[in-house]
Amino acid sequence: MQVYLDNAATTPIDPEVIQVMTETMQESFGNPSSIHSHGRQVKTIVEKARKTVATLLKASPSEIFFTSGGTEADNMAIVRSIVDLGITHAISSPLEHHAVLHTLEEQEKLGRIQLDFVHLDPQGNIDLTHLRELLANNPRTLVSLMHANNEIGNLTDIKQVGEICKEFNAVFHSDTVQTMGHYVHDLSDLHVDFITGAAHKFHGPKGVGFIYINGRNKIKPLLYGGAQERNMRGGTENVYGIVGLAKALELCYQEMEEHQQHIQGLKDYMKVELSKAIPDVCFNGNIDADNSLYTVLNVSLPCTHIADMLLFSLDIAGISASGGSACSSGSEIGSHVLKALDCNPTRPSVRFSFSKYNTKEEIDFTVKTVKELCVGV
């Protein structure tokens, strides 16, 4: 059996997405910047996709800009808000994705900002009281906090964070890459300046994403070149990717409730079965469903004797997952998230992440395999 449980890394493309992308490739090849009929036809396709995304998120089409993915979008939000909005101080978390952390750290090295990290509780949750204290001392600040952690699945109440930021006139950026397409994002009800998405995290194609820039913010491009994306992102548009992104997000919103129930059921079932099979198993991050991303389960296992070989052994057995220990060993850099949480460095951790295509039978096979590897029966 081949089991794919690494959907937080990337997801299989939905067949309907492939179909609409293929049709566009076959029928609409013009450059959307060209003024002739072939170009105008493709420009219309791109703008229709933009309107689809904006409508789903309850934003204006003028606030949606397509990018090469989440990393570019995060970089754009952070760098341009610092340079263009007069930001000299930033607040983030040590658990952020490297697209955010490394960008902020580089801005600090360049002398553009002072960077502070908000306190976390032992499960990795944001201390909102400390966030408020930091903002009280530095009101005009860039706050960059992700909606859901890509490794342990912790959810942050970005509506509440947004209200705190509004109180202190702070600029709020949230990396929503892991939750886009999996939760409803009503931007008309959120005080947020920038959010980001990547199509391949919700059954769309790789190499395409978007940034939402609230209309109250006037920033310059990160990438200069042509006048594409209303002069905000130079470079010929990835038309087929944009079409695929819009279709994938549309499908997610249509099927969201059904898939949430299915995937949450798989996650809950796996937790129960792993706990029965391996009594010393632990789960990193939040364990309650209301505060945890339903697509991610981070498991800490007692099998220290095969720590360096666990992911490889799972792969040999036909199971694709990801993870890493909190310590560095050999060429393994280790997980900065688990390090920040002071997780036991001798225990291997595995991130299992689910999609609508996974089944209960796959979970049974995975639990059986993990038990055989850990306890040898």
Active site residues: 327
Please give the Cα distance from 2 to 198 (Å, whole number).
Answer: 26
One-letter amino acid of 288 = D
Instruction: Please answer whether residues 349 and 338 qualify as being in contact, where contact means their C-beta atoms are separated by less than 8 angstroms.
Output: yes
Please give the Cα distance from 131 to 180 (Å, whole number).
Answer: 24
Q: Rounded to 5 degrees, what are φ and ψ at 239? A: -60, -50
Give SS3 for 72.
Answer: helix
Q: ∠135-136-139 over CA atoms, to 5°?
A: 60
Tokens of 17: 């997405």
Give SS3 for 105.
Answer: helix
| C-alpha distance from residue 192 to each of 29, 50, 160, 205 (Å) | 36, 19, 10, 26
Question: Of 163, 154, 176, 83, whose CA–CA distance to 131 is shortest?
Answer: 163
User: How much is the CA Rg of the chain, to the nearest whole Å?
Assistant: 21
Please give the Cα distance from 11 to 122 (Å, whole number).
Answer: 30
Q: HSE of 211 in the Cβ direction (CA atoms, 13 Å)? A: 28
Tokens of 320: 């694709």
Question: DSSP alpha helices (H): ranges in the chain?
Answer: 15-27, 37-57, 70-84, 98-109, 128-137, 158-167, 228-231, 239-277, 310-316, 336-340, 360-375
Question: Which residue pairs, CB below 8 angstroms and at least 24 apart, start in 276-283?
Answer: 277/367, 277/368, 277/370, 277/371, 278/302, 278/370, 278/371, 278/374, 278/375, 282/347
Question: Of 285, 270, 303, 287, whose CA–CA distance to 340 is shortest?
Answer: 285
